[in-house]
A = this chain, B = another copy of it.
Amino acid sequence: MSYLEDALFPSEAHVRDIAKQLYNLTRGLPIISPHGHVDLSLLIDNKPFANASELFIFFDHYVTRALHSAGVPLVNVRQGADPRSAWSIFASHWNIFAGTASGYWLKNEFATLFNIHDDLTIENADNIYDAINASLNRPEFLPRALFSRFTIAFLATTDDPTDDVSAHRKISQELSSRIVPTYRPDKYIQVHTPAFVTNVQKLISTAGLIELTFANFMKAFEITRAQFIAAGAISIDIGVEDPYTCELSDAEAGRIFDAVVSGTSTKAEMRDLAGNLLYRLIGMSCDDGLVVTLHAGVIRNHHQQTFEKLGPDHGSDLPLQVEFVRNLKPVLNAYGTDPNLQLILFCVDEAALSRDVAPLAGFYPAVYVGAPWWFIDAPYSLQRFRESTVETIGFYKGSGFIDDTRAFLSIPARHDMARRVDAGVLARLVDQNRISFEQARTIAVDLVTKIPSKAFKL
């Protein structure tokens, strides 16, 4: 795999050399993946992957959205499509992935897992498809074997508060790793959606309560959070368009909640209630200690027709500009110095990472900077992220790298990417006499060990 040897390192020979020395300290270290979307059944069932298309195309919405953007109907490249035809479409569009994050991961996965080093073409598509399929039936390509080969020390899934998360402990023992659920309460705070009240009722029932009251709603959060903690959870993950927070008394919040239930609330009240639910979910962490990861600034299912036909996660979730400093003022004034709270802020708006998030994390002990996410989880974006936040917060108030992926095979490729980019960033700082080589060595290792462990209380 010689061509990957120097991938992503700086170009100047002496800086590249420093980067390689730093990378060599981290390349063998286990992966900590504290936030992601791997389907646990993959590891429970441990069935062979069906074919190359199922592995690399059908469930990777980075790949399917790119093909869709080039004019390929989604139905031709998702579950249900003919896999060999889908692979052929994929191969004929290989060049649209050049320079993209997916393009890099795919190249990396082909090379490291299947020893394929050529660009995909219409001509070699069938051969490569067959070669990959042949590998997939070998025992070392079963999900559990790959899990072990990837040396994943910690893996978090993402789960609904009403999900049964009892399987995590068992699979952890079987794989000699730590695999835990994550509490994801989004749909219980989306006050404006038609299903909100039904969802809340279900949450209340799951918690063993009955009446649809605001007090029971809050108790249901506490009870189900405790259930997740008992199942190993270390964090709660919340996705919002706008990270608006708002303090409300129990009486006022309850009054608005009742109005929502009876369909008589105003838009402004619904906004305040949503902002207050976010405020309270963060506040509860001061008591139960769950790390809060807040993913803000994404509009989900922008293309209604795609959502109606195919459901969510088909590539039409899109970034929004985001503002944290004013929006989080209420909740940070209440809890920002609480020693039990750790609030990690993620967004897809690069400007906000350096302007809002790093300065907030540079003052409030509770605030951490989330790694670049989604569209900006890529080599140049990671480098820009470091260079535009390090001068404010250094390296020690970050979350560590987060892969956030559904694509199981891309986990090592993504973490390897981050380690390479960070080695390059550190090497540049050493070369410019801004930090000592000794510091760089310590930081390189801390970035994949101590720093994520501290941010996620592992």
The chain A residues found within 8 Å of chain B, CB to CB, are 3-4, 6-12, 14-15, 65-66, 68-71, 95-101, 103-104, 107, 119, 299, 302-305, 315-316, 318-321, 323, 325-326, 329, 332-333, 336-337, 339, 348-351, 354-356, 358-365, 367, 375-376, 378-381, 384, 387-388, 390-397, 428-429, 431-436, 438-439, 442-443, 446
A387's partner among B4, B380, B392 (CB-CB below 8 A) is B380
For residue A9, give the distance in angstroms from its CB to the closest CB of chain B.
Answer: 7
Whether B100 lies near A392 (C-beta < 8 A) is yes
Task: Indicate if the CB atoms of A395 and B329 lie closer than 8 Å.
Answer: no
- Other than the given A99-B394, A320-B325, A384-B387, 16 more pairs (CB < 8 A) read A9-B432, A11-B14, A11-B431, A65-B363, A69-B363, A71-B365, A96-B397, A98-B429, A99-B391, A302-B333, A315-B363, A316-B363, A319-B325, A358-B375, A380-B388, A384-B388
A362: chain B residues within 8 A (beta carbon) = 65-66, 69, 315, 375
* Contact (A98, B443) CB under 8 Å given A69-B397, A355-B350: yes
Given known A3-B433, A325-B318, A351-B351, contact A363–B302 (CB-CB < 8 A): yes
Tell me which residues across on chain B come within 8 A of A119, comparing CB atoms. Answer: 436, 438-439
CB distance B365 to A70 under 8 Å?
yes
A95 touches B3 (CB 8 A): no
Complex Cα–Cα for A68 and B434 (A): 23
The one of B69, B100, B365, B387 that contacts A390, using a Cβ cutoff of 8 Å: B100
- Are A359 and B433 touching (Cβ within 8 A)? no
Q: What are 26 A-B pairs with beta-carbon distances under 8 A? A: A3-B433, A6-B433, A9-B432, A10-B11, A65-B363, A69-B361, A69-B365, A69-B397, A70-B397, A95-B439, A95-B442, A95-B443, A98-B429, A99-B394, A100-B393, A299-B325, A302-B333, A303-B337, A315-B362, A321-B323, A321-B351, A355-B375, A375-B392, A378-B391, A378-B392, A380-B388
Is the CB–CB distance between A394 and B434 below 8 Å?
Answer: no
The residue on B at minimum CB distance from A99 is B390
Nearest CB on B from A6, distance (A): 6
Across-interface contacts of A103 in B (CB, < 8 A): 394, 434-435
A78 to chain B, nearest CB (A): 14
Q: Which residue of B lies closest to A320 (CB)?
A: B325
Q: How far is the CB of A279 from chain B (nearest CB, A)?
A: 16
Q: Of B8, B337, B429, which contacts A99 at CB under 8 A?
A: B429
Cross-chain contact of A363 among B303, B384, B392, B435 (Cβ < 8 A): B303
Nearest neighbor of A442 in chain B, beta-carbon distance = B95
Chain B residue nearest to A325 (CB atoms) is B318
CB neighbours (8 Å) of A354 from chain B are 350
Q: Which residues of B contact A96 (CB under 8 A)?
A: 394-397
Roughly how many angstroms separate A11 CA and B438 CA in the complex, as a whole number?
19
Which of A7, A11, A365 is packed against the most chain B CB atoms within 10 Å?
A11
Task: Indicate which residue in B7, B358, B361 contacts A432 across the interface (CB closer than 8 Å).
Answer: B7
**A65 contacts which chain B residues (CB < 8 A)?**
362-363
Q: Decide: B7 and A434 in contact? CB cutoff 8 A.
A: yes
CA distance A392 to B360 in the complex (A): 28
The one of B304, B380, B391 in contact with A391, judged by C-beta atoms closer than 8 angstroms, is B380
Determine the chain B residues whose CB is within 8 A of the CB of A305 once the complex forms: 333, 337
- Cβ distance A135 to chain B, nearest Cβ, rounded Å: 23
The CA-CA distance from A431 to B9 in the complex, in Å, is 9
Q: Are A396 and B355 interface neighbours, CB within 8 A?
A: no
Task: Contact check, B71 vs A339: say whether CB atoms are below 8 A apart.
Answer: yes
Residues of B close to A360: CB separation below 8 A:
318
Q: Which 5 A-B pairs have the closest CB atoms?
A: A378-B391, A7-B433, A99-B390, A11-B12, A98-B435
Measured in the bound complex, the distance between the Cα atoms of B397 and A69 in whole Å is 8
CA distance A103 to B438 in the complex (A): 15
Q: Which of B15, B66, B339, B391 contacts A100 (CB 8 A)?
A: B391
In the complex, chain B residues whose CB is within 8 Å of the CB of A435 = 98-99, 103
A197 to B255, CA, bound (A): 39
Q: Which residues of B contact A446 (CB under 8 A)?
A: 95
